[in-house]
Structure 1
Amino acid sequence: MPSYTMNSEGGREPLMIIEKKGMGSSISKLMKDPSSLILVLISFAVLCLFVIYPLIYVIALPGATDWTTFFSKGRYGTALLNTVVSSSLSALTATVCGFIYAYSIHYSNIAGKKFFRFIAFLPILAPSVMTGLAFLLLFGRGGMVSQTLKAWFNVELDLYGLPGLWIVQTISYFPLAYMTITGVLRSISPNLEIAAQNLGARGFKLFRTITFKLALPGVINAFLLVAINCFADFGNPKLIGGNYSLLAVEIYGEIINNEPGLASVMGIILVIPALLVFVIQGKLLSKGSYSTITGKPVSGLKRVMTSRKTDILLFIFNSIMALFILSMFIITLLFAFTKNFGRDNTFTLDHIFKIVFNPSSPAVLNSLVLSLISSILAVGFALVLAYVVVRKPFPGKKLLDFTAVLPIALPGTFVGLALIVAFSSGPIMLQGSAILIIVAMLLKQMPVGYRGLTASFKQVDKSIEEAATNLGADSRRTLTTIVFPMLQKTIVANFVYAFMKNMNTLSTIVFLITPKWVVAAVSIFNYAETGTYYWAAAVAVGLMGTTLATLGVMKLIFRSKVKIFDF
């Protein structure tokens, strides 16, 4: 029965229950729910062990001698400058290309939009180092284009160093920029642009004052993501860079030379520009309003499209991008299925059977197994983190949230470096084990799933879970029987993303690989560096085929919940 209290006039009023707040109340509620307590403790333990501990270890490891060596040798300063310059240039051009490509998909009437969407998807299937491999096969000293120019026009083509690296990283990471920007452009309300047009804005003025300003968050986010990937890129600079040294390559060299202290110094220095980009992004976005959903009806409204002349220019641009990407995949296929393309063009499957299906060369299989395990764990952990952070009151929630998203702001090279130096000695030895590779993959992909699931949790009414709790369900049962089915689509989408990224990762795990646990991306790099391009191409084809086959199985299982080409 409800409780009442007497008022000043002698009447009865319902007794108001004031909910207690504060640390004591949060701890009390948590203690009454053992399942939630266990989930919170596990979350803190995992992040402290694999994020906080390695971070502190790698910062504390270098001595005064290591810092002195770094600042006294000019080559390290040059490598830092080269890293900032090349990463900034590549991030800028990849973002510009991604924006133009996405803009043409959503704001023009060009033909072949489905084809161009497919082309943007292709580079995601392969590791970025495959782009470097294909670039060598086309534009290297012995590449097909280079040899043709030399034979026909006596022109020596030399794109090693910054020019080649700039091109390769732009092509490698433009799909990432495209996917980031396309979601923002798709969500811009047409009525805002129509209203501006009615007020006299046309053409470039409409684009500059409305469309671009509303898309700015996506553009800045794209630049941030591409810049961080470029800072961490190891395979392409090693293959294409020549004498143009970058920090990621120098770090690898010091690890090989057993100089973890000096490598840690360079890893710390590498993080600084990445964090600066992250901070600048936040400052820029905090200065304006970028709301694209106004609450006003938009059904029946048609988006303001580009002119015929602009459509032609956009079609030409997209065709050039498509030509570059297709040529890189075609040349890889030609090397994989011929004995030695350009010298002996005889069709063969020997490279595929020898490198991909040979039990003594399990790189592709290792990639599949490690990626599946890591992706399942990453999404599962992201689900637990999002659930406890959004739904459960406990002290230290902001710290847990910050630690969960921290790895996304760190270059993959630094994450791998921190794990190898922290767990190669001391109380916990994981060096050489598959566990460390799985953890590295998990740390880089989990924050993406965590952010997506956090947003999804906030869209689900809490009363649904409270009803389950009132009926006797604890947190574990509520999570598995109520929350998981409601968020299944988001969970599957994040799993697909994590799986594809893990299959192709190189920079994050290059320090953690052992002969027993070599993965496909590392094999491509190793074969390309030794000049056995047909084997490198065979591994790349095997990796892409395995990724596509796995995605196909997922599509059959989850059907409409998996939308591979929906971007």
Structure 2
Amino acid sequence: MGEFALMFRDPVLAVGLAVCAVFLAAFVIYPILRTAVNGFFDAQGRLSLGYFSRYFDAYYGPLSRRIFRDTLVMGLLAAGGGTLVGFIFAYAVVRCRLPGRRAVHLLALVPTVSPPFAIALSSILLFGRNGLVTRKLLGMSFPQGANDIYGMDGLVFVQVITFFSVSYLILRAMLERLDPSMEEAARSMGAGKLHIFRTVTLPLLVPGLAGSFLLLFVESLADLGNPLFIAGNVTVLSSQIFLAVAGEYDYQKASALAVVLLLPTLIVFLVQRYYVSRRSYISVTGKPTGGLIEEREGWIRWPFIVLTYAFCLLILLLYIAVIYGSFSRAWGIDFGLSLEWWRQMFTRGIESILDTTYLSVLATPVAVLLGMVVAFLVVRKRFTGKETLDFTSNLGGAIPGTILGIGFVLAFSTGALGLAVFLYVLLALLAVSLVCRGWAGRLGVLAVSTAAGVGLKALERRLGPGGFLYLISALVFLIGLVQLARRGAGGRRLLLFGVYLAMFEASDYLAWPLVLAGRALGPGVLRNAVTQLADYLKVLFKLPPAVLGSILLLMGVLSARAERGRGREVLLLVILAAACGLFFAGSPLTLVGTPYIILAAFAVRSLPASVRAGVASLQQIDPSIEEASAILGADAQYTFRKVTLPLILPAIVAGLIFSFTRHMTSLSAIIFLVSPRWRIVTASILSEWEQGGISMAAAYSTLIIFFVLAAISLLYFLTGRMMRRRGGIDITWGA
């Protein structure tokens, strides 16, 4: 506990740790536990192992075991193929003097910014039963039972093309950082090229190859879009989970299948994290080296170049097919060009496009900020539970998104009173520990403030939800006024937060003119966009009361810590009472159907990339720089803001790029969370595909690809000059 005592000396650092712990507990651990537990209990709450016993049942067993086997086979083949293609690209770009290296690099990254089923869609457009290549050019027909693009081979093909970019980024970074002196020493001793590759280069690449294979295995098992599009008669666990919810409405079956899918993915994640990382493959020695090794022998260089160009041509062809498909009148019948599908997309699909963009923009800084705080705590601080924090922060990206989606529905559809109580007690104990002295004083403040908060909560029935929030906002505003009059700490902050709380209900009146303006416009894109602006305005002010209570509680800690004498306990007691009332207002943490559940899912899925980017960047910064700031009297938050943050700015930009891209193209984690009011564009693509609108799906996919590329280019442009001064943006940090 001594480490925590040192951390608690800086309240900002303690608050940062508390925010990360609360977020991970609420939106990572709790949903996973709810999913796992729900698989063992039926709708009446009785213990039931029926869905697990099907794997050993004489009737259901063969089908269940075949689905599990096909899932593993698909994962292994996709991981092996993706790692091989990624290695070919990386070796050609780094060591083979590849002409057009930058264009190849950019083309290899395109699958990372496209929807999860774009490759499956384009493969069907080109090589399907009515494909441009198979039917139009080659005149092929596929009678019943013939081997076509649908099935295991087609699924593995699209998975390899979809995920090889991750392997390419990892292996390219490793090849660029290998010490060439080792291979030069082997060559000077007379070893041949193949012998050097087998005994020197390949062993040094084992961490990257193993990490890439394991990561692609998890990604392919977790993917939902490609199996739904192109698997045909082959069923894998991710699509079976989706059908259990969307088709059978059986959440126990979906949860049981999620537990089965969780086992191999979690085992592989643990192997990647603990086994590979503990082995020593030192290649950077700190001694001066002669630069990168380049292959000059044609029999080595040209096969890599030819294969790389062949894959680039294939990728280019696949994405051209998606773009062309969005303009075709009726793919497979009439390949003539038309703008009809784009017109329909902007007419009836503008809501999902705007919703996805808006929520992605909101979730991106949240994920990046949390990731940087976690990275700072993991790299720079020592405390009990640091490994658990690091592990949990990466867990959201390691497990399949369908598992998280089901967990979110189960956890936050009807409120989570138990979770709210746990989080309140955790934050309240942190608050009294930071402010009060002695356990008697701490428990006294906690008991009195909680009792007062429960009393405030009792007024909610009389005042109504709106009146109750106005009461809390008036109380916080009054506390801020008193603090300002006393020239106490945090007065202005509390004053502004009181005004913000009042906007919870007042935002309805502010948004009403936008609603009227939208209704006054004629039917079309502009009307829908203006009307949606009203809802977007409300999102900024109508945070869940439990979140508002958490913010108020943490603000109270910072304000009370700056007070002296008995005033700090009194101030904390009053703020804790108001925070307790807010925490349990209404039905605590009922988030399903609101935009906040989608924001949470986005942040959880992209958090690991931000953490990895921050960790990689911080490990390259000499701690003595921050120690010098501390010696000069700066506290942890000032050092982080003025010293560390500017140094890790490239990692922040890399995290922003990865997070925004993942949010815009996410499907599996949010497919169960969309609602009639809050729609996501990837779910709209899936809906169009299910209804036979293949050209509409292609139009949506094309728009996402170009929109994400434009957003990334804009971010690069705005930060380019600043990043050049700091060494540039290395997007392999996110990988």
* TM-score for both structures, normalised by structure 2: 0.70
Give the CA deviation at 1:27.
3.5
Paired with 1:77 and 1:539, the residues of 2 have a C-alpha distance of 36
Paired with 1:50 and 1:461, the residues of 2 have a C-alpha distance of 33
Paired with 1:516 and 1:153, the residues of 2 have a C-alpha distance of 43
Question: Residues 318 and 388 from structure 1, CA distance in 2 versus in 1: closer, same or farther, beyond 3 angstroms?
Answer: closer
Superimposed CA distance per residue, residues 147-174 of structure 1 (whole angstroms, 9 cap, x where no aligned partner): 1466268896612110110111111111
Q: 1:276 aligns with which of 261, 267, 272?
A: 267
Match of 2:205?
215
Give the CA deviation at 1:349.
2.8
The worse-fitting range, judged by mean Cα deviation, of 153-162 and 113-122 is 153-162
Give the CA deviation at 1:480.
2.4
Paired with 1:460 and 1:304, the residues of 2 have a C-alpha distance of 30
CA contact (8 A) 1:106 1:185 kept: yes
Match of 1:525?
686
Q: 2:33 aligns with which of 53, 56, 69?
A: 56
Q: 1:225 aligns with which of 215, 234, 237?
A: 215
Paired with 2:626 and 2:201, the residues of 1 have a C-alpha distance of 40
Match of 1:418?
407
Give the CA deviation at 1:64.
5.6
Match of 2:18?
41
Give the CA deviation at 1:365.
2.2
- Residue 327 of structure 1 aligns to a residue whose secondary structure is helix
Residue type of the alignment partner of 1:177 = S
Q: 2:67 aligns with which of 79, 89, 92?
A: 79
> Structure 1 regions of 5+ residues with no counterpart?
1-22
Q: 1:264 aligns with which of 255, 269, 288?
A: 255
Matched, 1:453 2:442: no
Equivalent residues in 2 for 1:255-404, closer than 5 Å: 255-256=245-246, 257-281=248-272, 285=276, 288-299=279-290, 301=291, 303-305=293-295, 307-355=297-345, 357-358=346-347, 361-404=350-393
Match of 2:396?
407
Residue type of the alignment partner of 1:267 = A
The worse-fitting range, judged by mean Cα deviation, of 71-80 and 266-275 is 71-80
Equivalent residues in 2 for 1:110-121, closer than 5 Å: 110-121=98-109
CA contact (8 A) 2:39 2:255 kept: yes
Paired with 2:607 and 2:286, the residues of 1 have a C-alpha distance of 32
Match of 1:17?
none
Q: 1:494 aligns with which of 635, 639, 655?
A: 655
CA contact (8 A) 2:223 2:668 kept: yes
Give the CA deviation at 1:360.
5.3
Corresponding pairs, count: 542
Match of 1:20?
none
Paired with 2:286 and 2:625, the residues of 1 have a C-alpha distance of 25
Superimposed CA distance per residue, residues 392-423 of structure 1 (whole angstroms, 9 cap, x where no aligned partner): 45443333222222223312222222222221
> Structure 2 regions of 5+ residues with no counterpart?
43-47, 55-59, 417-588
CA contact (8 A) 2:353 2:681 kept: yes
The worse-fitting range, judged by mean Cα deviation, of 275-284 and 532-541 is 275-284
Paired with 1:69 and 1:566, the residues of 2 have a C-alpha distance of 43
The worse-fitting range, judged by mean Cα deviation, of 301-310 and 35-44 is 301-310
The worse-fitting range, judged by mean Cα deviation, of 447-456 and 527-536 is 447-456
Superimposed CA distance per residue, residues 88-117 of structure 1 (whole angstroms, 9 cap, x where no aligned partner): 111111111111121111222343323322
Give the CA deviation at 1:263.
0.9
Give the CA deviation at 1:308.
0.6
Question: Residues 438 and 193 from structure 1, CA distance in 2 versus in 1: closer, same or farther, beyond 3 angstroms?
Answer: same
CA contact (8 A) 1:139 1:157 kept: no
Residue type of the alignment partner of 1:95 = T
Question: Residues 392 and 109 from structure 1, CA distance in 2 versus in 1: closer, same or farther, beyond 3 angstroms?
Answer: closer
Give the CA deviation at 1:551.
1.3
CA contact (8 A) 1:95 1:222 kept: yes
Paired with 1:247 and 1:553, the residues of 2 have a C-alpha distance of 38
CA contact (8 A) 1:203 1:306 kept: no
Give the CA deviation at 1:69.
2.6
Whose radius of gyration is greater, 1 or 2?
Answer: 2
- Residue 516 of structure 1 aligns to a residue whose secondary structure is coil
CA contact (8 A) 1:364 1:542 kept: no
Match of 1:552?
713
* TM-score for both structures, normalised by structure 1: 0.89
Give the CA deviation at 1:281.
3.5
- Residue 358 of structure 1 aligns to a residue whose secondary structure is helix
The worse-fitting range, judged by mean Cα deviation, of 143-152 and 117-126 is 143-152
Question: Residues 313 and 295 from structure 1, CA distance in 2 versus in 1: closer, same or farther, beyond 3 angstroms?
Answer: same
Paired with 2:97 and 2:624, the residues of 1 have a C-alpha distance of 45
Paired with 1:354 and 1:344, the residues of 2 have a C-alpha distance of 18
Identity score, percent: 31
- Aligned-residue RMSD, C-alpha: 2.5
Match of 2:569?
none
Paired with 1:212 and 1:396, the residues of 2 have a C-alpha distance of 35
Match of 1:483?
644
Residue type of the alignment partner of 1:133 = L
Residue type of the alignment partner of 1:31 = F
Question: Residues 99 and 87 from structure 1, CA distance in 2 versus in 1: closer, same or farther, beyond 3 angstroms?
Answer: same
Residue type of the alignment partner of 1:358 = T
Paired with 1:122 and 1:36, the residues of 2 have a C-alpha distance of 38
Superimposed CA distance per residue, residues 431-459 of structure 1 (whole angstroms, 9 cap, x where no aligned partner): 12221112112112112221331233344
CA contact (8 A) 1:190 1:304 kept: no
Paired with 1:536 and 1:477, the residues of 2 have a C-alpha distance of 49
Paired with 1:460 and 1:312, the residues of 2 have a C-alpha distance of 39
Match of 2:581?
none
CA contact (8 A) 1:129 1:524 kept: no
CA contact (8 A) 1:76 1:247 kept: no
Q: 1:198 aligns with which of 188, 212, 217?
A: 188
- Residue 303 of structure 1 aligns to a residue whose secondary structure is coil
Residue type of the alignment partner of 1:289 = S
The worse-fitting range, judged by mean Cα deviation, of 498-507 and 394-403 is 394-403
- Residue 294 of structure 1 aligns to a residue whose secondary structure is coil
